[in-house]
Amino acid sequence: MRVPLRLLLAVLFAAILAGCGFQLRGTLSGNLPYKTMNIALPETADVRIWLERYINAAGSTEIVDEATRAEAVFQQLADSRQKTILSVNAQGRVREYRLQLTYRFQVVNAKGQVIVLPNEIALSRDITFDDSNVLAKDLEEGLLWRDMNNDLVNQIMRRLAIIKPRNPDLQDEE
């Protein structure tokens, strides 16, 4: 029985890839250090919706509706989104815009004591603009904002997984 060369190469490639420790990135870099968490944002906020999805995918933390029952409460401190002109052409028409998103958050316990100090995430994307393709550029801008939201939540999740929560009782005594 003769094994086709392509099949042999595919199996060899898979074995080498598995042997080197390659692993797909996935959605999270680790589990959150909290058993229960409350997200103090409106139900329809994009950041809340995506955070809930990512936290539920991790499986180790339960989302609760009441902040008093939560071990950790995620609080948004600031959410700033700006669209500024980056460049203009010789006729004075806009050629490029810069989309900027700045987000600040902290995590507190049920007593309101800070367990993760305020963090700031700043993202920006540049987008070209063309008067003859206004609808297409508007759709592209919407996709860029959505991509920035996804990147924002990924960064929030990585920071929450990596940052060791501090004990506010010990900090108050010092």
Cα gap 81→122, rounded to integer Å: 10
Q: What is the CATH number of domain 25-166?
A: 3.30.160.150
Q: How far is CA 111 from the centre of its chain?
A: 26
Q: What is the mean pLDDT of each run of 10 residues along the chain (174 residues)?
A: 78 78 55 88 92 87 89 94 93 93 94 90 94 90 94 92 72 49
Distance CA 67, CA 90 (A): 55
Q: In what order do the strands lie in the sheet with 114-128?
A: 62-63, 36-40, 72-88, 94-108, 114-128
Radius of gyration over alpha carbons of the chain, in Å? 22
Which pLDDT does position 174 carry in this prediction? 44
Are 31 and 57 in contact by the 8 Å Cβ rule? The answer is no
CA distance 79 to 83: 14
Report the distance separating Cα 43 and Cα 41, nearest Å. Answer: 6
Q: Report the C-alpha gap between 100 and 151 in whole angstroms.
A: 13
**Would you state the pLDDT for residue 23?**
60
pLDDT digits (tens, 9 = 90+) for 107-131: 998 888 898 899 999 999 999 998 8
Query: How far is the CA of 173 from the CAs of 3, 37, 107, 110, in angstroms?
Result: 71, 26, 20, 19
Query: Closest Cα to residue 169, out of 113, 117, 125?
Result: 113
Residue 121 is predicted with a pLDDT of: 96
pLDDT value of residue 11: 84
